[in-house]
Amino acid sequence: MKINCLLLFAFITLNVIAQKENIDTRVENLLNQMTLEEKVGQLNQYNDDGIATGPVTPDGDKEGQIRRGELGSMLNVIGVERVRQFQDIAMQSRLRIPLIFGQDVIHGYKTTFPIPLGEAASWDLKAMKLSARIAATEAAAGGVHWTFAPMIDIGRDPRWGRVMEGAGEDTYLGSLIAKARVEGFMGNGLGNTDAVMTCAKHFVAYGAVEGGRDYNSVDMSDRMLWETYLPPFKAAVDAGVSTFMNAFNDLNGIPATGSSYLQRDILKGKWNFEGFVVSDWGSVGQMIKHGYVKDGKEAAYAAITAGCDMDMESRSYKNNLVELVKEGRVNIALIDDAVRRILYKKFEMGLFDDPYKFCDIQREHDAFNNPEHTKASREIASKSIVLLKNENNLLPISPDVKTIAFIGPMVKEYKPNLGFWAIELPEVNYDKFIVSQWDGVQNRISKGTKLLYAKGCDIDGDNKDGFAEAVSVARQADIVIMSIGERWDMSGEAKSRSDIHIPGVQEELVKAIQATGKPIVVMINAGRPLVFNWIADNVPSILYTWWLGNEAGNAIADILFGDVNPSGKLPMTFPREVGQIPIYYNHFNTGHPAATDSTLFYTTAYIDLKTSPKFAFGHGLSYTEFEYSDIKLSKGKMKNTESTEVSFVIKNIGKYTGDEVVQLYLRDRVGSVVRPVKELKDFKKIRLNPNESKVIRFTITNDKLCFYNQKLEYKSEPGEFDVMIGSASDDIRLEGEFELIH
Ligand code: GLC
């Protein structure tokens, strides 16, 4: 058996090597035929004239440029027919180099999944991989070759609207999610007609923009960069990500697009990345606005020398690179390297063998009408919902309830359930395709249950005219479900908010309904952590429902009525007030730690606000209860060449089957640089039936103890470590310790 495995491994390896050599040869042969103008053409990407995800440069003659081989790629070209039109023109060019088509397939193509931050709350890597797999299958069937995903920016500031697009605040969780999403999108590898190229973005530290203001500056130590923000990108490289997208922000004074430290030293050098780097929309030309270069020509020079291979939409490369090469300022070798990287991907995708490979109408129809995709969307959506509170076990709603009032501005909405970065396909009737929250609950309630509705108010604005009707409807019910939150387009790109309270008069609506004395369940729809202290303190049951995709209504009903037991855990810390930001669980202790909310004097505490978050990273409840016991470590002392195992027992002591995300946190008590009070180092999502218990084991290896020291060496240091097993970062159930010996 072992021999067979070895032979199979050898065969596959040799096959991959042979394919690479074959493509390398084809790339060289083509490169040798290309003129300088055609080479520069491959480095340009333009948007189609339809949907734009950035400021469009009107320049009319796209088709002529394609026909002359002056364009290598396009984005936001929707549908097989449209893709075919542009590819037809590319086939009229001298060398018939196919275009490659990119699209922001961030959380689904036709089938829409929860926003990525919502999916991250599932802590279900398999589910996130499946979601990406389905998105790729549909996108590739729809003519898309390349998704600008996964977005893997660590985000610790909920004022930043793009936290909705990533995996939250934790580097360990974010790195695993990056891997899962890259593998999901790429399936069995490029060249398959259900696989798309991937794009790790935004390189790098875009999530650390000052003030949470999109596109703003970022300034941090190299140690913080290496420790917190780079690892998910290295995980994406290790997972085989096809391309990188650099970032709008400047980092320590250098725009990411013009940073050779990032793109050449780290990415293409240290990490030996062989794919290509695309700029973000216009970010090459935007270096003029940064004040980093004086004009488009210098922008092109700075970007190409820094390792940015493709210019999305700025025209800097198109207008300047030929001249820069002719005048000897840019070595043709740099151009050739960028062109090789891009051509390699086009060969790998099989586009030279068949430029219309992804333009199959029947395949598009089949992929867009697969019930398995809808089923998966519903399952992943229900796993993403986080039960923040459930006093008196008000949830799940009993089937005997006679009358339910369903109140709030989100109840009967359709498209907002998709959230930001959802794809708009012209042939889809979204009001039919999306299950609204009202539809979902209506479809699920028992025969004898009456469902009443009132909108109550809008998401924003100060109009309370609808309050009276809402209160009257609530009075007629046995229980009230409310669905409120921010508007779907209050988070996403260029959607930073200085105030992340629930907008408008929605919280006042909740107070008015609460005053009726009826039991209330509040659901909050959002693309980021919001502030809602009154609701959090006074409402018995709260669900965080993010933006759940086209199966939102069914997923919400599954949770409300207990068909699915909630299992989501927060991937980001929820602050009590904006003033607490930045706030994250894996902070340093400082010399004046505010160990509890009441230790104020001479500590890092605020004098006017509790120090703890409103809801902690990793927080999420269940309809059942889990008991943790019997922690054991296999070694009290561990050499850095060994590992130690921590085991414990978890038991379901409630009456519902449930999934629990058990979390392993470690603390390095003393280091050559200060170390966080705790760091997530492993987790498992465990399903247990009532009264069932399991022994869970985590293996602690030396690499889980490593960190970047002052010299940026990634290594562990001898000393004592705390071991914490928790249901959340602020809900540690079991503790242990061990000593690392070098
Ligand atoms: C946008 C976004 C980027 C996206 C690109 C193309 O500005 O920053 O994430 O992939 O442009 O839409």
The pLDDT value recorded for residue 209 is: 98
What is the C-alpha radius of gyration for the chain, rounded to an integer number of angstroms? 27
Q: Which domain-ending residue is among 555, 579, 603?
A: 579
The verdict on 470 and 384 lying in the same domain is: yes
Q: Which of 104, 153, 157, 280 is an active site residue?
A: 280
Tell me if 414 is assigned to some domain.
Answer: yes
The verdict on 452 and 536 lying in the same domain is: yes
660 lines ligand 1 (CB under 6 A): no
The pLDDT value recorded for residue 6 is: 83
Q: 36: which 2 tokens?
A: 């300088």
What single-letter DSSP state applies at residue 655?
S
Tell me if 345 is assigned to some domain.
Answer: no
The pLDDT value recorded for residue 274 is: 98
Q: pLDDT band at residue 667, thresholds of 50, 70 and 90? A: very high
The verdict on 533 and 662 lying in the same domain is: no
pLDDT over 80 at 1, yes or no: no
The verdict on 564 and 425 lying in the same domain is: yes
Compute the mean pLDDT over every residue in the chain, rounded to the nearest whole number.
96
Phi, psi of 372 (to 5 degrees): -65, -30
The verdict on 575 and 677 lying in the same domain is: no
pLDDT over 80 at 17, yes or no: no
Tell me if 84 is assigned to some domain.
Answer: no
d(CA 266, ligand 1 centre) in Å: 22
* Angle ∠(364,110,50) on CA atoms, nearest 5: 90
The verdict on 568 and 637 lying in the same domain is: no
Q: Which amino acid is at 469?
A: E
d(CA 653, ligand 1 centre) in Å: 47
The runs of H, that is alpha helices, within 482-586 are 506-514, 533-538, 552-560
The verdict on 557 and 700 lying in the same domain is: no
The verdict on 530 and 663 lying in the same domain is: no
The pLDDT value recorded for residue 60 is: 73
The verdict on 393 and 451 lying in the same domain is: yes
Prior bond to 582 cis, omega within 30? Answer: yes
Prior bond to 202 cis, omega within 30? Answer: yes
Q: Nearest residue CA, atom 11 of ligand 1?
A: 281
Q: Is 285 left (phi over 0), alpha (psi -120 to 50) or beta?
A: alpha
Q: Nearest residue CA, atom 3 of ligand 1?
A: 280
54 lines ligand 1 (CB under 6 A): yes
d(CA 15, ligand 1 centre) in Å: 35
Tell me if 507 is assigned to some domain.
Answer: yes
56 lines ligand 1 (CB under 6 A): no
SS3 percent helix, strand, coil of the chain, rounded to 5, is: 35, 20, 45
104 lines ligand 1 (CB under 6 A): yes
Question: Which of ligand 1's atoms lies nearest the C-alpha of 102?
Answer: 6
pTM for this prediction: 0.97
Q: Is 280 a catalytic residue?
A: yes
Give the C-alpha distances (Å, rounded to integers) separating 570 from 194, 385, 545: 32, 9, 11
Instruction: Give the model confidence (pLDDT) of 394-407 as tens digits.
Output: 999 998 899 999 99
Instruction: Give the model confidence (pLDDT) of 77-94 as tens digits.
Output: 999 999 999 999 999 999
CATH of the domain at 463: 3.40.50.1700
pLDDT over 90 at 413, yes or no: yes
Q: Which domain-ending residue is among 524, 556, 579?
A: 579
309 lines ligand 1 (CB under 6 A): no
Instruction: Give the model confidence (pLDDT) of 32-56 as tens digits.
Output: 999 999 999 999 999 998 788 888 8
- Structural domain total, the chain: 3
State the residue for tokens 């690892």. Answer: 231
Tell me if 56 is assigned to some domain.
Answer: no
Domain span holding position 684:
626-741
The verdict on 538 and 394 lying in the same domain is: yes
Q: 625: which 2 tokens?
A: 């209860």
Tell me if 273 is assigned to some domain.
Answer: no
Tell me if 633 is assigned to some domain.
Answer: yes
Q: Nearest residue CA, atom 7 of ligand 1?
A: 281
Tell me if 461 is assigned to some domain.
Answer: yes
Question: Mapping DSSP to helix (H, G, I), strand (E, B) and coil, where does residue 332 land?
Answer: helix
- Bridge-based pairing of strands 311-312 and 276-278 is unpaired
Q: pLDDT band at residue 595, thresholds of 50, 70 and 90? A: confident
Instruction: Give the model confidence (pLDDT) of 336-355 as tens digits.
Output: 999 999 999 999 999 999 99
281 lines ligand 1 (CB under 6 A): yes
Q: 17: which 2 tokens?
A: 């090597």
Quote the CA–CA distance of 458 and 480 in Å, as a whole number: 18
The verdict on 572 and 688 lying in the same domain is: no
The verdict on 534 and 681 lying in the same domain is: no
Angle between helices 552-560 and 371-384 (to 10 degrees): 50
Give the C-alpha distances (Å, rounded to integers) separating 574 from 112, 361, 391, 567, 585: 25, 45, 19, 18, 10
Provide the β-strand partners of residue 696: 648
- What's the CA dihedral at 552, 118, 626, 610 to 10 degrees? -120
